[in-house]
Chains A and B, each alone.
Chain A
Amino acid sequence: MSSPTTVLQPTGAGIGPPQIDRPSPVIRAVGAAAIVGTAVTVWLGLWVTPPDEFMGEQVRLLYMHPPVAWISFLAFGVAACSSALYLWPRTRSRRFDRLAGASAEVGVVFTGLTLASGSIWGRATWGQWWTWDPLLTTTALLFVLYLGYLALRRVPGEFDACARRSAIAALVAFVDVPIVYFSVTWWRSLHQAPSVLNPTTGKTYVHGSMLWTMLLGFVSLTLAYVWLLGHRYRLARFQEIEDSEGLEVALAERRAEAVIA
């Protein structure tokens, strides 16, 4: 029988020293630029740019709502590309699975904000919070599809099997993104057609300070997306290291029980 001071060391293979450094200066600079850019966009959008001839003051939502929607497309595009790279045997890496999960979560946040801000804008211009318009419906479907993707990632199982099914789900869900974008041209919609780059006419319907303010909104929120993605990716990496350490401790406990018995 062991004495009370006997210490049983875990004998499992270590995972090496985890890299738990602070965020890189690049990520910090991106975050600072995103904050400054967003603040300038809000200032220009609310107090500097003129009201629209037809929409009046409601046009000021133009500087935030389309950029937020664009980020959701970008985030799901990054998740789909990362998932494809994970499924491709030559490029299979945990990094791509982690990147896909992180980008999809940020994308879900931005899709939720797209729906919320669009609903507010719809109430101001159409007189109702929600309508089963093709664009709104497909966007809501996109939101639910990627919520399901995030839920699927949490289903326990062997890592490679979980990552594969998640990657397939991300690619399937991404099919809805072009449907959302082209829904305003494919079907009759209350929502206006794309104003900046119209795929059918090729014209731009926003000009002057309104165009530059909206472009600044696009750039600022893209930087915010990069910053959020960087931090979400790091958090996912830390969680994986914690899970690995928890597994090591559990294995050591089981071995200790076997030795005591």
Chain B
Amino acid sequence: MSGYVAAGYVVILAALAVYAISLVVRERGARARLRGSSTATAPPAITAPAPVPAQVPAPEPPTALSSIDLPNPATTTP
């Protein structure tokens, strides 16, 4: 058998085998992830953060008014 003939067969069969295995592995991974998410009792939950201790004043959430109306002390001249 010619070396070129063997090389041609090896290239085709090996590439197809690698592609087929990669498809099966990716498909099984996706299916496992989906099965894990679908068998959970509840959808992914978001837990609120713990309350801030009383000694430390909680920073005020920025509002549209405060961000627009309050002067910037770094740039305001006395």
Residue of B nearest to A248 (CB): B43
A150 within 8 A of B: no
Cβ-defined partner of A124 (8 Å) among B5, B31, B34: B5
B51 & A58 in contact (Cβ 8 Å cutoff): no
A-B pair count, CB < 8 Å, reads 126
Closest chain-B Cβ to A195's Cβ sits at a distance in Å of 17
A241 and B27 alpha carbons, distance in the complex (Å): 12
**Residues in A1-29 with C-beta less than 8 Å from chain B:** 1-10, 17-18, 20, 22
Closest chain-A Cβ to B52's Cβ sits at a distance in Å of 8
B50 & A4 in contact (Cβ 8 Å cutoff): yes
B34 & A241 in contact (Cβ 8 Å cutoff): yes
A171 and B8 alpha carbons, distance in the complex (Å): 31
Cβ-defined partner of A116 (8 Å) among B11, B42, B49, B51: B11
Cβ-defined partner of B48 (8 Å) among A8, A42, A56: A8
B38 within 8 A of A: yes
Residue of B nearest to A12 (CB): B43
Cβ-defined partner of B38 (8 Å) among A20, A60, A121: A20
Residue of B nearest to A6 (CB): B48
Give the interface size bracket for A toward B.
35 or more
Main secondary structure of the interface of A (DSSP, over half): helix
Q: Known contacts A239-B30, A252-B44, A252-B46; decide if A46 and B5 are in contact (CB<8 Å).
A: yes
Closest chain-B Cβ to A161's Cβ sits at a distance in Å of 25
Q: Mark each residue of chain B from 10 to 40: 1 if its CB lies under 8 Å from any CB of chain A, else 0.
A: 0111011001100110110011011101100
Interface size on B, residues (CB 8 A): 36
B64 within 8 A of A: no
For A5, the chain B residues whose CB sits under 8 A away are: 47
A68 within 8 A of B: yes
Closest chain-A Cβ to B74's Cβ sits at a distance in Å of 26
B65 within 8 A of A: no
A242 & B34 in contact (Cβ 8 Å cutoff): yes
B1 & A57 in contact (Cβ 8 Å cutoff): yes
For B43, the chain A residues whose CB sits under 8 A away are: 9-10, 248-249, 252
Residue of A nearest to B62 (CB): A261
A253 and B43 alpha carbons, distance in the complex (Å): 12
Residue of A nearest to B31 (CB): A20
Cβ-defined partner of A231 (8 Å) among B5, B23, B37, B47: B23
Q: Known contacts A4-B50, A7-B45; decide if A124 and B2 are in contact (CB<8 Å).
A: yes
Residue of A nearest to B27 (CB): A235
**Residues in A202-260 with C-beta less than 8 Å from chain B:** 224, 227-228, 231-232, 234-235, 238-239, 241-242, 245, 248-249, 252-253, 256, 260
For B4, the chain A residues whose CB sits under 8 A away are: 58, 61, 120-121, 123-124
Given contacts A61-B9, A117-B12, A120-B8, 6 further A-B contacts (CB under 8 A): A4-B49, A7-B45, A20-B35, A20-B38, A235-B30, A260-B48
